[in-house]
Amino acid sequence: MRLGLILGEVGSGLRRNVSMVISVVLVTFISLTFVGAAILLQMQIGQMKDYWYDRAQVAVYMCTDLDTTGTCTQSEATKTQIDAVEAQLKSPALAPYIKKYEYETHDQAYTNFQEQLADNPIASFVTPETLNESFRVNLVDPTEADILIESLSGSPGVQEVRDQRSYLDRIFAVLNAASYTAIGVAALMLVAAVLLIATTIRLSAFSRRRELGIMRLVGASNRFIQTPFILEGVFAALIGSILASVAIVAIVQFFVQGYLTRALQSTTTLVGLGDALVVVPILIAVGAALAAASAGVAISRYLKV
């Protein structure tokens, strides 16, 4: 009986305010889509970090005939110098940090270069002698690259010690910036959504102020009075969050798994449908909680006894 009455009130409130309800639905839809996109982007960054940091190496570049930077004086690193660096890598000071290392010769470097930049005109200008020979070191913990950089930079015959993570970090910085932008837009839109829900509920309460006055007079409990309004806000926000969830799943399914996977092939891992389905309950919970809170605050001034 009471449930039917409350749901009836919710229905009539929604009907009376159709245009406001639609705007609440749209604003929550857009804002939660941005929230979902930001979460997915963070998940993507996390996956890429896992994937690439494992493969990232520290490269110890040895001098070539052309180099003048580091300890190089336009002369090729000698065998003694190379052995000295290798001895350092094997020394008890550095060995515990190193998982494995290998030496890349001019010819290997040339082959890799040609492979990686096959379509690039620069590939045809490069000769094996211009490419550095290098030690490729895999660390136990990729974040401890500084130890290697400090101990090997300045050794004779070493041009540069480079942590490849620094290249990755630039990519991650771009992705991070994108995800923070999405979060910023989402936050602004969520503020708009919360205010819009509050306004809608106030409008709805105002149009029913006679009923509310009588309810208070005859002793309807506060919960009975406020429940229809909170449900009204939650209902509108729920539609918005369901639309946002559908949009997020569609983006992952058709854009990430469909287009991006084909375009990038197997160069990196991408977020999948499983990740999208993790985001869906978050969006629905955020939408419902925000709507309930803002509607509750909006209606509270009509409950003062």
Q: What residues line the site for other proteins (CB under 8 A)?
A: 1-2, 5, 210-211, 213-222, 224-225, 304-305
Residue of 194, 260, 199 whose CA lies nearest to 186: 194
Taking the complex as a whole, the smallest distance from the CB of residue 201 to other proteins amounts, in Å, to 19
Question: Which is closer to other proteins, CB of 93 or CB of 214?
Answer: 214
Q: Are 34 and 189 in contact (CB under 8 A)?
A: yes
Half-sphere exposure of 250 (CA within 13 A, CB side): 7
C-alpha torsion sign, points 115, 101, 165, 59:
negative
Given the complex with other proteins, which of 1 and 118 has the nearer CB atom?
Answer: 1
The least distance separating other proteins from the CB of residue 215, rounded to whole angstroms, comes to 5
Nearer to other proteins, 197 or 225 (CB): 225
CB of 236 to other proteins, least distance (A): 23
Closest to other proteins by CB, 162 or 208:
208
Contact 71, 154 (CB under 8 A): yes
Taking the C-alpha atoms of residue 251 and residue 284, their distance in angstroms, rounded to an integer, is 17
Q: Compute the distance between CA of residue 180 and CA of residue 170 in angstroms, rounded to an integer.
A: 15
CB of 5 to other proteins, least distance (A): 6
Alpha-carbon separation of residue 137 from 56, 95, 98, 152, 165 (angstroms): 9, 11, 7, 12, 12
> Closest separation between CB of residue 9 and other proteins, Å?
10
**12/138 with CB nearer other proteins:** 12
